Amino acid sequence: MLAIKLSRFGKKKQPTYRIIVLEKTKDPWGDYLEMLGHYNPRSKEIQLNAERIKYWISVGAKPTDTVHNLLVTNGILEDKKKTVTKINKKRAGKITDAQGKKAEAEKAAKAKAEAEKAKPVEETPVETPVVETPVETPVETPVETPVEAPAEAPAQTPKEEMTIESETTTEEPITEQPKNEELSQTADSSSETNAEEKSAE
């Protein structure tokens, strides 16, 4: 049986692959029937001979899963991609346990929802919101009254205006003089506080 495989070559930690056709049981680093292209995973560069790949597939060569996915990505094969990773038994067991728990939780949630639906529904009065309609208030329009000009008042000159203003500003406000008793009381209280501070020291 024939297989289309990847054969690694290149420097250490810089892999490049040849895409080759060979017997399935043979070593991919040994002899091969034909080289069909190159693949560099670091630069994602692929060179494929599409006609020869289609020929070998028609003859019966089966591509490995990785090569199959490369051919699907480049449009040479029209199929779904295959899963390349392998899951060990321990990990597969954990996955099935997690899926089982998730399924049980979903069933419990569905049962709870059905139980709530089956309960008689108590009718609670639904409050309808009261919609207040705005009351239109009549807007009063102000009536303009004509302002009459005073009957020919004597015009004042700017000098007279300034003297009137200066007379009003020169007036000083009348302030009450504090009584002598209040002054003497405040003086006595300040002297008492000074004496208390000195004795405390």
> Tens digit of pLDDT per residue, the chain (201 long)?
899 999 999 999 999 999 999 998 888 888 889 999 999 999 999 999 999 999 999 999 999 999 999 999 998 888 888 888 888 888 888 888 888 888 889 888 888 888 887 775 555 666 666 666 666 666 666 666 655 555 555 555 555 555 555 455 555 555 555 555 555 555 555 555 555 665 665
Find the length of the chain: 201
**Whole-angstrom distance, CA of residue 137 vs CA of residue 120:** 51
**Whole-angstrom distance, CA of residue 35 vs CA of residue 33:** 7
Q: Please list the alpha-helical segments (H only) found in the chain.
A: 50-59, 65-73, 89-118, 158-170, 180-200
Distance between start and end Cα atoms, the chain? 114
Residue with tokens 């002297």: 191
Write the CA distances from 139 to 113, 134, 135, 142, integer angstroms: 59, 14, 12, 9
Write the CA distances from 199 to 53, 77, 185, 193, integer angstroms: 114, 109, 21, 10
**Whole-angstrom distance, CA of residue 103 vs CA of residue 96:** 10
